Structure 1
Amino acid sequence: MRDLSAIFKAYDIRGVVPDELDPDVVRDIGAAFAIFTGAPQLVVAHDMRESSPVLVEAFAEGATAQGADVVNAGLASTDMLYFASGRWDMPGAMFTASHNPAKYNGIKLCLAGARPVGQETGLADIRRLVENGIPPGNRPRGAVSRRDAVREYAAFLRGLVDLSHIRPLTVVVDAGNGMAGYTVPHVLADCPVTVVPMYFELDGNFPNHEANPIVPENTAELRARVREMGADLGLAFDGDADRCFVIDERGEVVSPSAITALVAVRELRRAPGSAIIHNLITSKAVPEIVREHGGTPIRSRVGHSFIKALMAETNAVFGGEHSGHFYFRDFWRADSGMLAALHVLAALGETPPGTRCSELMAEFTRYVASGEINTTVRDQAGAIARVKAAYADRPGITIDELDGLTVTAPSWWFNVRPSNTEPLLRLNVEADDRATMERVRDEVLACIRDDGRP
């Protein structure tokens, strides 16, 4: 029996090509997905990696052998695959390894309507089918067809956020040689937005920088270009363009928590009183602002499967994560960095001429955050236990363990969570002022590293 534990992750399939992920295993994954869904049609799409077309072909061979027709949408961002799955009502498979280096590839799976597939919602079943051996198909072989999605996708997004009447804006966009270089020209065509492109050439070798904008050094050139150009703002996308980060006119990164609050306010204007999902490491400004605008904030664990499940349960209109993932009810509850970017452009473009991005975002930025700090530890549980013991008996402290350990005081809070894939603890701290944030940050880090106690 095969052991596929190395490539089947919590939310997707990912590995080195061809050492871990090759056409043979992908062919069986395609067959298993067709068996698991039982759907008459599947849609597949892929990013710009050199290995992607061959893996898509293998997946289609496996799926058609089990009787499913396969619609190949070709080059796409991950949110474009979600669009195709939702709009065409088909289960989908996106071939991408997001921001991972060129030697990697992967598969993000979803059910019809872009419903997520994770370990508890089908990924474990698909893995077992592949490991135990694919049975012969009992339906006539399916067919493969081609259908382009980019124009439909772009028109759909522009229908959700109308940019036709905003004031002219100049935006520098860093695609990082990823899929935003393909999608941005379509989505922003015929809008009063002048796009200054950076690294729009599709290249899965990522020759200029890693396509992961959450790492500050990967946005250094973009931040400098925004300042040099006197642009209104900058946008940075990851490799598969499902995450987007915003740079203001000063070249400063706008907190994704602030973007979450801004989009929440816009969505609440359209759907008053709705629920808004935010994960537990977003700024406490997010639930405050949601309540101030008549919405109901709902706190979630970190991770798209938890956000999407809560959105379905509560009919939430929007959800945001501090990692740069943004989820929309009108987009089949799937995440779309491009749709979040359109909201930011619309919000700035609707302000009076001369209004700066930093001025627009000021009302959504109320506290001082540390950013995520990762520490390698031998014993994750032991380190978290030390932190809990250090703070448990302090007056005015509340503790919860929804996702890792969250400790809250009147003027600050922090969360410590273990990584699911590495021997790391992830620390996020927020406070009313920088001095308090730095004091709490240093105390907690000393406790985690066991070279001092708060």
Structure 2
Amino acid sequence: MSCENFTAKFDEYKKIRKQKKLFGTFGFRGVVNEGMGAEKAKRTGAALADYLGAGKTIAIGKDPRISSPMLEEALIEGIMEQGCNALTLGIITPNALSLEVGRQADAGVMITASHNPPEYNGMKCLSKSGMGFSPEEDIALEKIYFGDLKPKSKKGKRLNDAGASDRYRAHIIQYVKKMFPVAPMKIVVDGGGGSASTVTPETLLALGFEVIRFNCKYDGMFRERNPEPTDANLKKLKSLVVKEGADMGVAHDGDGDRTAFVDENGKFVQGDVTAAILADHLLRQCKDKDKKIAVTIAFSNLITDVAKNLGAEVIFTPVGEPYLAQAKLLCGAQVGLEEHGSVLIGWSREGPMLAGVMAGILSKEKMTFSELVATYPKYHQIKDAKTLPAGTNTDAILERLKREIPKDYDRISDMDGVRVDYADGWFLVRASGTEPKVRVFSEGKTEARARELNRIAMEGLERAMV
């Protein structure tokens, strides 16, 4: 399958990102009752129903945030007013919703702000396949959203299905058992108080692992910790892994589509390292002749080492789940990877599935987690950011940045921001999709080189802002 149809869209994707008024990289979010409220939720439901046509069914999932029920009711009202059926599935993960849309609906909406703090909420739209809306679909839906929407004469129905989480757990168990053996192992699960809080521990228990639960009750205020599962936010999990003598720790965000890992020594394992390990072992068992790995432009060079050993091709995409899904669709990539550790096996980010797969990998390899990580090349990364003054033209700054960088690089890409590659590392400067700042990532084979590349990027950025 050729990737030409995908790569040919990169310039179009950049234009669409500038045209969007509602949607960001994937869906939209904001502070509840400020940038995000019932009226926006209702209109989103109405626009999606109008886009699909009367009589269709839209499946709805949500995370446990205290604002989710309010937004869900408004969303349902908008859907039904436009003649579509609203199928509520309760608190589930985005991947569970993706599977259910493919099974019994025509589209889906996930009510979530993912890893953002509790005062935020938002929505993500899924197409019939269970895939996040493409950039083209976002624009089409926005035209309806900002147009003249009038209620249909015949209302849709309200439906409910409480079995989605049970089917999702069964799906994970079947997948992992088919792929990997299960050896005795103790795993600490930090559910984050989010959608995966019951799914991951119960799935691991069903697979035969010993599970220690921590922060595994729904908490719409995320009182135990910030919902983003970063190294700094997982101090209690890291300590608990060591205290319990566990083989690994697993943590999730608010909706359960991010999965972070801690090794047996209580050390946080970088997201692109765990994603690369997962992709490596999944593709080792893949029988496809042409192996392809889709990764965002912000991903570590570790993936090129993994791909080389597999005889696989690496396909770079703009940052965001929908672009990885498009690479899977148009290029035939078996997996899609994001730098924070998310992995697409099907059409959406896996969450609890990754905990089961990683445990299966450790069981098969008969290694500790730290031993497994040590078998892969080590790269050093620095993640930085610079806040911009209000009203800053980020696109103009990034365009000037390309002229301010010393020309001793191997290649440069403006697919999404500006990525500059050298023989021994790279840096990326790109606009944040949610905040008035630019993010600066750098990576080198040594820490000193990573810092040097960070300096080159930041100094170039300063000159570009003058």
Task: Say yes or no: TM over 0.5.
Answer: yes
How far the C-alpha of 1:120 sits from its partner, in A, is: 2.6
Q: 1:18 to 1:404 in 2, by over 3 A?
A: closer
Q: 1:342 to 1:382 in 2, by over 3 A?
A: same
Q: Is the 8 A contact 2:59 2:89 kept in 1?
A: yes
Query: Which of these residues, 35, 40, 45, is aligned with residue 30 of structure 1?
Result: 45
Question: Which string of whole-angstrom CA distances, capped at 9 and with x for unpartnered residues, describes residues 221-248 of structure 1?
Answer: 2122222222111111110000111111
Query: Which of these residues, 212, 221, 240, is aligned with residue 205 of structure 1?
Result: 221
> In the alignment, does 2:322 pair up with 1:305?
yes
Secondary structure, aligned partner of 1:334: coil
Query: Which of these residues, 97, 102, 106, is aligned with residue 90 of structure 1?
Result: 106
Secondary structure, aligned partner of 1:260: helix
Q: 1:259 to 1:289 in 2, by over 3 A?
A: same
How far the C-alpha of 1:195 sits from its partner, in A, is: 1.5
Cα distance between partner residues in 2 of 1:36 and 1:385: 36
Amino acid across the alignment from 2:350: S
How far the C-alpha of 1:211 sits from its partner, in A, is: 0.4
Q: 1:17 to 1:404 in 2, by over 3 A?
A: closer
Match of 2:24?
9
How far the C-alpha of 1:7 sits from its partner, in A, is: 5.7
Question: Which string of whole-angstrom CA distances, capped at 9 and with x for unpartnered residues, describes residues 133-152 of structure 1?
Answer: 42231545334333420111
Secondary structure, aligned partner of 2:329: helix
> In the alignment, does 2:428 pair up with 1:415?
yes
How far the C-alpha of 1:164 sits from its partner, in A, is: 7.9
Match of 2:95?
79
Q: 1:325 to 1:21 in 2, by over 3 A?
A: same
Identical aligned residues as a percent: 26
Q: 1:382 to 1:95 in 2, by over 3 A?
A: closer
Q: 1:398 to 1:124 in 2, by over 3 A?
A: closer
Cα distance between partner residues in 2 of 1:393 and 1:143: 60
How far the C-alpha of 1:386 sits from its partner, in A, is: 6.0
Where do residues 273-288 of structure 1 align in structure 2 (5 Å cutoff)? Answer: 273-288=290-305
Cα distance between partner residues in 2 of 1:280 and 1:22: 33
Match of 1:425?
438
Amino acid across the alignment from 2:101: S
Secondary structure, aligned partner of 2:308: helix
Q: 1:228 to 1:387 in 2, by over 3 A?
A: farther
Cα distance between partner residues in 1 of 2:237 and 2:133: 34
TM-score normalised by structure 1 residue count:
0.89
Match of 2:258?
243
Q: Is the 8 A contact 2:258 2:351 kept in 1?
A: yes
Q: Is the 8 A contact 1:244 1:324 kept in 2?
A: yes
Q: 1:59 to 1:400 in 2, by over 3 A?
A: closer
Cα distance between partner residues in 2 of 1:19 and 1:405: 32
How far the C-alpha of 1:447 sits from its partner, in A, is: 3.6
Where do residues 19-168 of structure 1 align in structure 2 (5 Å cutoff)? Answer: 19-38=34-53, 40-121=56-137, 123-139=138-154, 141-162=156-177, 165-168=181-184
Amino acid across the alignment from 1:359: E
Q: Is the 8 A contact 1:10 1:118 kept in 2?
A: no
Question: Which string of whole-angstrom CA distances, capped at 9 and with x for unpartnered residues, describes residues 411-442 of structure 1?
Answer: 22211112234332211111122222223223
Comparing 243-252 with 179-188, greater Cα deviation is found at 179-188
Query: Which of these residues, 354, 361, 365, is aligned with residue 351 of structure 1?
Result: 365
Q: CA RMSD in A?
A: 2.5
Amino acid across the alignment from 1:406: R
Q: 1:249 to 1:449 in 2, by over 3 A?
A: farther
Q: 1:433 to 1:15 in 2, by over 3 A?
A: closer
Cα distance between partner residues in 2 of 1:386 and 1:337: 39
List gaps (5 residues or longer) in structure 1. Answer: none
Q: 1:421 to 1:53 in 2, by over 3 A?
A: closer
Q: 1:37 to 1:208 in 2, by over 3 A?
A: same
Match of 2:4?
none
List gaps (5 residues or longer) in structure 2. Answer: 1-19
Cα distance between partner residues in 1 of 2:415 and 2:30: 30
Cα distance between partner residues in 1 of 2:420 and 2:185: 42
Q: Is the 8 A contact 1:65 1:142 kept in 2?
A: no
Greater relative contact order structure (CA < 8 Å, 6+ sep): 2
TM-score normalised by structure 2 residue count:
0.87
Query: Which of these residues, 362, 368, 376, is aligned with residue 374 of structure 2?
Result: 362
Count of matched residue pairs: 439
Cα distance between partner residues in 2 of 1:19 and 1:255: 34
